[in-house]
A and B are shown apart, each in its own frame.
Chain A
Amino acid sequence: MIYAAVGVLVLTVVQGFDDTERLTAVTSSQAMLRWAVPIMLAGLGGLFSERAGVVNIGLEGMLILGTWFGAWGAINYGGWAGLLIGMLGGGLGGLIHAVATVSFGVDHIISGVAINVTAPGVTRFLSSEILTNYDGGSITQSPRTPGVGRFTFPFLAGGDLFGWTTPDILGWFTDKDWFFVSDFTGLARGLVSQLSLATMIAFALVPASAWLIWRTRFGLRLRICGEHPVGGETQGINIYLYKYLGVVISGALAGLGGAFIASPELSGIYLEGQTNGRGFIGLAALIFGNWRPGGIMAGALLFGYPFGVGLRDLDGSASHALLLVNTIALAAVLAWALYRRRRIDAGLAAGLGLGAAVWYFMSTTVPDWWISILPFVIVLVVLVFFSQRLRMPRADGLPYRKGEA
């Protein structure tokens, strides 16, 4: 919460410098949320797989399967069915990954890449067989998909409560146009009004995953697969079973993320190539979050934000302002690196920060291509600095064979 407040403060100050209001606009925080959901679901998917010791680089492919199956399900059976069928589609991808890595001992990276390469082919084939028969469908896209309901929190954002329209508290603050306070409430209001039920479910999955992994028997047994599978075997655990479950759940969550992308929350359509590498960014969120659900959520929001800002940033002014935000963030990293006497980190932060600052002050806007690559640049830079003190599950990615201890 404190970090979030500091972040908003920085954004507000920067916004004051630069002529844009998009950094703390309600539309920006809502867009951030919508963009964060698939990243977060892919990240949670990665969590279940890697806690079971299977590296899942195939999340992107499972996300793609989720978009197609999600759209197909939604068009034929409605919004909710779309999410469910998207999960099944992604889960199928997970099952293939599990068969390859767990039963046949295929290298996890190779199997994952194979899934990433195969999934678009499969969906294109399915499109040519099925979508082309639909009105408005073609080999690369589907007709419009229906979504699921929305919800506005009562009191916080003036939602209805048993037919009574509650006061809109955050909205009231936002309208006052007070420095920082209004910016903060503006962002916060975006997070609690007109919220898709699918988004709410996605965020509810964060504590649910934490509970499942750390409080239940299933979770304990799943984690031993990622930490010390032979140890689990000697205590009578069926390691293969739990690895399978972890990887299939992983695919199902990524599939849900894909279905979300194809739902009206983001596109309202299945479109070839629409996942746009978000499976990989989900993997980045997983690493940033140190293989923990809360951290994955933070990472997904962090990575989702520049996407959300860039989405409507037609003139490049908001992305331009983000350069200054990056400069400030890198200055903070520099201070931390100097304090910890990490010379390489400090040098890197100083160089990148200086570059961003020079660019910021030498220009008033940024080119189109920068708007579209900025989120990926941020992912890279963040991982460079944060991935040094992380601890992945010890047996993650290692082959395991029963009875070979």
Chain B
Amino acid sequence: MLAIELTGITKRFPGVVANDDINLEVAEGEIHAICGENGAGKSTLMKILYGMQPPDSGTIRIQGEEVELHSPAQAIELGIGMVHQHFMLADQFTVLENVILGAEPMRSLGRIDFDAGREHLDEVGRAYGLDINADDLVESLEVGERQRVEIIKVLYRGAEILILDEPTAVLVPQEVDELFRNIRELKASGATILFIDHKLDEVLEIADTITVLRQGRTVGTVKPDQVTAHDLAEMMIGSELPVPDAGESTVTEEVALELSGLRVAAEGDRAVVDDVSLSVHRGEIVGIAGVEGNGQAELVNAIIGIQDPDQGTITLLGRDITHVSVRHRREMGLGYVPQDRHRDGLLLGFTLWENAALGHQTEAPYSRGPWLSRPGMRGRANRIKDEFDVRTPNIEVSAHALSGGNQQKLILGREMVAGPAVLIANHPTRGIDVGAQAAVWDDIREARSRGLATLLVSADLDELIGLSDTIVVMLRGRLVARLDPNDITPRDLGAYMTGAALEAGAP
């Protein structure tokens, strides 16, 4: 019996075919993984299956019945539940409120029966070994806990088909183990699980069946015992996966960026960055590892100058810049690749050449005296386009016409052509495809060999280990470990990030 059968699903967006005649069969009670690069159309396919977006053509069969899905409410009714890649939780709601929303147990007068809801939630939690306190505010939960809330949310309404969209993207290896244990328990109790991922070792570990998508098409369906990670990679991208590799060390003695005793306080005087001292030398890449929300964002903000530190100093090329404005820091040679390129990196409605000048608009050749120089801006933009391989018809198009990877190359190029002494790269390859990822790595490595000091913040542990000369681990605002990337595995690094290794008394 097939739990899900998709036939000939096609979905077009302006300028792209996200799904092109996709066929997918998922048997009842199996863990079915869907693999593919970013942009291969996995998420779109899942949104179609969950009723969030209607397909342009094709049919959907659930438990053998042909259905037309117009809203998630319908999908929920059919027993489909989805855990989204980006959590769909309201921070200011309690766990209970988030879970019962849309399926509230009722009393008279339209009142919610919170007690009944709490009871049912605890029941579900116990049945699947998902431990969570119903009355905690979601805001106070850690990433792994939030994910558990998402899963409980789906189980609470009795879903029999679970869609998990890149559930491991935000987890450290230990949390992934926990998640996989939960998934196996779900399977044992009869659930069908659709699991999206592009980390091949994980897929091979958990899946019963694997379907690979490439550029919106189904490439093939295989069993994990018949293929290797190498085969899967070839199916996904048509060639081997690139691996970040630092190459020869180019670290010099000269300190480019130095932080000493840096402290940044959040509301209520709580330190979110606590006594951080760190130096980055010319030609060195220092990687900062840590579970998100442990002060990395605030540390970066303090260095680039948009958040004032309470204590400590920041020194750039021997000059104290602790209280220098953002613009002066940039003029002094500080480059920045922000974490969220749409929010902080680009003006999406502006042309590429305008975007190429952002943050450097006061410097030649972008401006002459008080006036902006259009020829200067266009010239630089063309140089960035050529040197950094930004794939675009011309520099007159607006930034949102570019794919994520090309947007990122534009940002990196913009920072690099300014010839910075120090680059702060905050998740530089997040959410971009494999080709662009490799290009970004190459650019950073090349700049390093020319003496650039780089502070790399990333959640991609392979990237951190492959690229960094030194890795420091940030936990609850403090630097808790300093590691050599040459003798650490992602698993060990994960243990440091959660604090497990420190508690166990490892070096």
Residues of A within 8 A of B (CB): 215-218, 220-221, 223-224, 227-228, 230-238, 389, 391, 393-394, 403, 405
Query: Taking chain A's interface residues, is the majority helix, strand, or loop, or is none over half, making it mixed?
Result: helix
Restricting to B109-158, which residues have a CB under 8 Å from any CB of A?
A: 109-112, 153
Residues of B within 8 A of A (CB): 47, 50, 52-54, 71-73, 76, 82, 84, 88-93, 97-98, 100-104, 106, 109-112, 153, 267
Name the contact of B112 in the complex, choosing from A215, A228, A230, A231 (C-beta under 8 A). A215
- A403 and B91 contact, CB distance less than 8 A: no
Known A216-B110, A217-B106, A220-B101; contact A236-B91, beta-carbon cutoff 8 A: no
- A405 and B111 contact, CB distance less than 8 A: no
- B88 and A234 contact, CB distance less than 8 A: yes
Chain B, residue nearest A389 (CB): B267
Name the contact of B101 in the complex, choosing from A216, A218, A224, A389 (C-beta under 8 A). A224
B392 to chain A, nearest CB (A): 24
- B102 and A235 contact, CB distance less than 8 A: yes
Contacts of A221 in B (CB 8 A): 101-102
- B71 and A228 contact, CB distance less than 8 A: no
Inter-chain CA distance A403–B106, complex, in Å, is 28
- B88 and A227 contact, CB distance less than 8 A: no
Known A234-B72, A237-B102, A403-B53; contact A220-B89, beta-carbon cutoff 8 A: no
Contacts of B88 in A (CB 8 A): 228, 230-231, 234-235
Name the contact of B52 in the complex, choosing from A216, A234, A389, A393 (C-beta under 8 A). A234
What total count of A-B pairs have CB within 8 Å? 76
- B72 and A218 contact, CB distance less than 8 A: no
Inter-chain CA distance A405–B82, complex, in Å, is 13
Known A227-B93, A405-B52; contact A235-B110, beta-carbon cutoff 8 A: no
Please name 14 pairs of A and B residues whose Cβ atoms are closer than 8 Å in the assembled complex, sorted by A.
A217-B104, A217-B111, A221-B102, A224-B93, A227-B91, A228-B91, A235-B88, A235-B102, A235-B153, A236-B72, A236-B102, A237-B102, A238-B73, A405-B84
- B47 and A405 contact, CB distance less than 8 A: yes
Contacts of A389 in B (CB 8 A): 267
Contacts of A393 in B (CB 8 A): 92
Contacts of B92 in A (CB 8 A): 227, 391, 393-394
- Ranked nearest first, the 7 interchain pairs of A and B with the lowest CB-CB distance are A236-B73, A235-B102, A231-B88, A227-B90, A228-B90, A216-B110, A236-B102
- A234 and B84 contact, CB distance less than 8 A: yes
Inter-chain CA distance A216–B153, complex, in Å, is 19
Inter-chain CA distance A166–B75, complex, in Å, is 63
Contacts of A217 in B (CB 8 A): 104, 106, 110-112
B154 to chain A, nearest CB (A): 10
- A235 and B101 contact, CB distance less than 8 A: yes
Give the interface centre of B82, B111, B267 by most chain A CB atoms within 10 Å: B111
B406 to chain A, nearest CB (A): 22
A261 to chain B, nearest CB (A): 31
Give the interface centre of B84, B88, B91, B106 by most chain A CB atoms within 10 Å: B88
Inter-chain CA distance A228–B72, complex, in Å, is 16
Give the interface centre of A234, A236, A238 by most chain B CB atoms within 10 Å: A234
